[in-house]
Amino acid sequence: MQPSQDKTQLRFLTCGSVDDGKSTLIGRLLYDTGCLFEDQISSLRCESERKNADGRLDFSLVMDGLLAEREQGITIDVAYRYFETKNRKFIVADAPGHEQYTRNMATGASNSEAAVVLTDARNGLLAQTARHTYIAALMGIRHIALAVNKMDLVGWSRDIFDKISNDYEGIIKKLEPDSGELFVTCIPLSALEGDNVFARGDAAPWYRGPTLAEYLETVEPGDVTAGIKPGPFRMPVQWVNRPNANFRGYSGAITGGTIRARDEIIILPSGQKNTVQSIIVSGQERSAAERGEAVTISVTEETDISRGDFLSDPRDVPDVTDHFRAAIIWMSEDKLLPGREYVMKISNRTAPAAVTEIRGRMNVLTLSMEPAKTLAKNEIGICNVKTQTPIVCEPYLKNRESGGFILMDRVTNDTVGAGMIRYSLRRASNVTWHSFEITKEARARLMGQTPRILWFTGLSGSGKSTMANLVDKKLFLMGRHSYVLDGDNVRHGLNKDLGFTEEDRVKNIHRVSEVAKLMVDAGLIVLAAFISPFQRDREFARSLFAPGEFIEVFVDTPLEVCERRDPKGLYKKARTGEIPNFTGINAPYERPDHPELIVNGNGSAEEEAERIVKFLENFGDCG
């Protein structure tokens, strides 16, 4: 056997539907390679005897370490295990089979170089088989073994194996136009009995292909995914290393290619060029470093380089863009809504981002794209994404690290989606902000006021528009320049194409927020009266304005009072089911957490409007 340090290593994923035998297969691999300790084997025997009357070893117990998994007999989390054969070392990820844990499977695939997709020979290919294969392909895995398991339960029927293999080839053909060439090997086996795992046995003399172990030993890691192939130099800067006044270096992990002393590099997004002066790895100066190594690089010319910047080979430069197309796996209980802002993390950079359009949602039964306005948990869509600031990126199939990203909720910081960039839609440099000589401050001085936006939020019938109108009149009489943006009025023109679904409500608020931003830039005091039921969308509106410009006014009127007023008869229709998605009845309203002003919508509108104007005067806006 080769010394362990001289062996190559392969990271692979096992996936498939529930009860296809993934945990049993990995337990078998660990047991047959002698990678279990004596106490683990003893525990395995004891638990197997309690579970099985015949005392046969239940290898799935080796992997199902979580109590909940053992109680339910399923795999929930991604479990990683290490084993080695005489020729190679392996890290194997056991992915859960249930559909609700698709995001866990995607996590395992993102770190893998090959995939073993299991299917139960009795059941054939299932929807989850296709879903996992599609995700593996999305994640850049190019070599896939279809392990047709439990062949002993179908009498090692060659006809059944051939049918499953042919059906799987049909799945692969549907995926390849979108994912590039996939290399598939179909292997009949029995994880429980061990046939065709390591030893061939006599059960299937008609099968001439490799055993699973032979397959795993011969897959070359350098070929399994484009993210690992040699390529141009790439390094996101993680840290500016300044141990003393005589040295400044830029630290990070090389995510592509090789770098040598005296190589020319380009710094992105600034586009400045420089030359590598020294390369330090683990405290020692080196002449070169390659992908996967953590390094500190110093440069010959003094240049502004910060955390989140990107060092690249100037002969092959990634995109600097703020608009791109990506495949997104949605992981949140809350639906993905186009227009809603999230936080995107890619490499070492974060940026506010929103999906501008869902181009299609993958139907895992037909492996075709279908129209969609939202993505629910575990659904996969092809989306256009827009970031507020330019990012450095390239296609995921070219480089995983600079092509993969996550989306996080702006309020909770929970990871809600994982994305794989396909291509840039346009370079950020094609669209620039034109600065004009007459500024917002100059317009404000001419008008004698400070531009603000008062964002009135509350239930339908709470009195938002009434109060905005009264405040507008008072400001007009004081010689102030103001304008009311009303929820109903904008739907006659600007937003007449939008309905009242959750996704359309998000678009409505985002469009109005952008319009209000322009009006504040013109020097106006803007009064926006919108139900705006979602806290995160009001936070998005706030994020567009300078500190102190956005004043959230919560018109706090009880639901029963709003429903009693019912000036448009909407509550009555909502109660009878004529109006779906009506806020307060069959759609939620999220009360503001910390509004600048709370007004009583059940009191005197005139008095409350006067209080709002006094509030503005305290800001010095109306004096």
**Could you give the CA distance from residue 222 to residue 227 in angstroms, rounded to a whole number?**
9
Tell me the CB-side half-sphere exposure of residue 538, using CA atoms within 13 A.
Answer: 27
The torsion angles phi and psi of 152, rounded to 5 degrees, stand at -65, -25
The DSSP symbol for 297 reads: E
Contact 374, 337 (CB under 8 A): yes
Degrees to nearest 5, angle at CA 359 with 415 and 428: 75
- Beta-bridge partners for 268: 310
State yes or no: is 347 an active-site residue. no
Catalytic residue (choose from 190, 460, 482, 532): 532
Q: How far is CA 1 from the centre of its chain?
A: 43
CA distance 82 to 63: 11
Q: Which residues are paired to 362 by β-bridges?
A: 369
Question: Integer distance in angstroms from the first to the last C-alpha of the chain?
Answer: 87
Within 10 Å of residue 425's Cβ, how many Cβ atoms? 15
499 CA to centre of own chain:
27
Nearest in space to 255 (alpha carbons), one of 269, 278, 235? 235
Residues 349 and 236: beta-carbon distance below 8 Å: yes
Length of the chain, in residues:
623
Cis amide bond preceding 269, omega within 30 = yes
Q: How far is CA 482 from CA 303, 444, 450, 471, in A?
A: 46, 12, 11, 9
Instruction: Determine contact, residues 150/178, Cβ cutoff 8 Å.
Output: no
Residues recognised as catalytic: 532
